Amino acid sequence: MGKIIRFIFFGNYFVGILAFALTLEATLQLRLPFNSINYYLLLFLAPIIYYTYAYNKVSTNPSAINPRNKWYFKHKKFINWSQGLLFILCMFLAANLLYQNFHNILNLPLSYWVAIVIIIIAGGLYYGLLPKSFINFNLRNTGWLKAFVIGFVWACCVNVLPLIMLKIETGIEYHDSVLWTWLFIKNWMFCTVNAIIFDIKDYPTDANKDLRTFVVRYGLRRTIFNILIPLLIIGLISLGIFANYKDFIWPQVLCNIMPFIVTIYLAYSMHKRKNILYYLIVIDGLILFKAICGIIGMQFIK
């Protein structure tokens, strides 16, 4: 069981599940038709490849205390083999989407292409994956900005990409800009808070590298009480205002509040040291919990 857990979480397969769950939540909340199975498979596999390649690229020291580093070194051959296989599968899925929707892709409005370019650049800069001859800049090294970039990329993946694909596959456009904007900001801020909590794990390493994350800059206690908890409380207040504006019923409000309450509790408990699997299972699990709560909340709407 321990090997299976490490395979799922160290191998970033759980990240693929998170991408799919958040996209499903956003699709239901926006009351949109579902995208094709081809797209959902691509959405599941692409984050696995991205995070595995990026993490393998920036941290592969087998002598480090970090168990994930040791797992990557021990299973290096399997990771290289699986990355190649998943990449081939992704290329097949992408080529199939391109073949089926070639003319629709060419006829996308300019605003859609701008969104695609922004997402690609942000995702590439986050781990410094773009060629240095093109741009020598790594958003991770900006410290406090890193968490906001992570949240932005995730919000784009679950709130922007499905709309782009829906336009490509069905020609349907979404017009409720107020609801979409609020959901985008909500996902952005929730994933940003999650990333800040996750930075607590890397506090000693980031401090040694002089990477000025919130935890390094302000310390653990001030990060929890002056940044994380206030951000979550602001999220709760904005949720209440928006729920009143959209006439949410109480079961729906309760389902949307629960992830914030649980995150506040876990943020408060972070003054105690946790191991890496705790962060990968529990802290990242908050995102899955949020998606499940959002999906359940939509079942109360007639």
State residue 40's pLDDT score: 95
Beta strands in the chain (DSSP E): none
Handedness of CA 251, 257, 263, 266 (dihedral sign): negative
List the end-to-end C-alpha distance of the chain, in Å, as a whole number.
Answer: 41
- DSSP type of residue 161: H
Beta strands in 87-237 (DSSP E): none
User: Distance between CA atoms of 250 and 10, rounded to whole angstroms?
Assistant: 38
State residue 227's pLDDT score: 84
State residue 61's pLDDT score: 60
Query: Where do the domains of the chain lie?
Result: 2-298
CATH class of 2-298: mainly alpha
- pLDDT tens series, the chain, 302 aa: 788 888 999 889 999 999 999 999 999 988 889 999 999 999 999 999 988 887 776 555 665 667 888 888 888 888 989 999 999 999 999 999 999 999 999 888 998 999 999 888 887 776 655 555 555 555 555 566 778 888 898 999 999 999 999 999 988 888 778 888 888 988 998 998 988 888 777 655 554 455 666 776 777 788 888 888 888 888 888 888 888 877 888 888 899 899 999 999 988 887 777 788 888 888 899 999 999 999 998 888 76
State residue 302's pLDDT score: 62
The H helix count followed by the E strand count for the chain is 17, 0
State residue 208's pLDDT score: 47
Handedness of CA 283, 225, 154, 160 (dihedral sign): positive
State residue 202's pLDDT score: 66
